[in-house]
């Protein structure tokens, strides 16, 4: 197999790996900022408890 074919196979795999790493970092950053905040946790629980019978998770007051 010529080297160019090897490089072509490696590029999408590298791109996928970088995209997955960036996504994981983004999720970790969001979790650190929002997931540990007690007020945010309370709001999430309240929103889930107020989901209507259609399950659309909109709070209807």
The pLDDT tens digits for 33-59 are: 666 666 666 666 666 555 555 555 555
Q: What is the pLDDT of residue 31?
A: 74
Pair 39, 47: CB distance under 8 Å? no
Pair 19, 27: CB distance under 8 Å? no
Average pLDDT score over residue span 12-23: 88
Q: What is the pLDDT of residue 49?
A: 58
Mean pLDDT across the chain, nearest whole number? 71
Sorted by sequence, the CB contacts under 8 Å of residue 48 that are 6+ apart come out as 57
* Of 17 and 41, the one with more pLDDT: 17
- Band (pLDDT 50/70/90 cuts) for residue 21 is very high
Q: How far apart are CA 58 and CA 38, in angstroms?
A: 21
Angle at 20 between CA 39 and CA 29, to 5 degrees: 25
Q: How far apart are CA 47 and CA 54, in angstroms?
A: 14
């Amino acid at each position: 197999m010529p080297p160019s074919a090897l490089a072509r196979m490696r590029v999408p795999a590298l791109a996928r790996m970088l995209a997955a790493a960036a996504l994981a970092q983004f999720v970790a950053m969001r979790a650190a900022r929002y997931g540990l905040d007690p007020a945010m946790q309370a709001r999430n629980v309240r929103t889930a408890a107020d989901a209507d019978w259609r399950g659309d998770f909109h709070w209807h007051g």
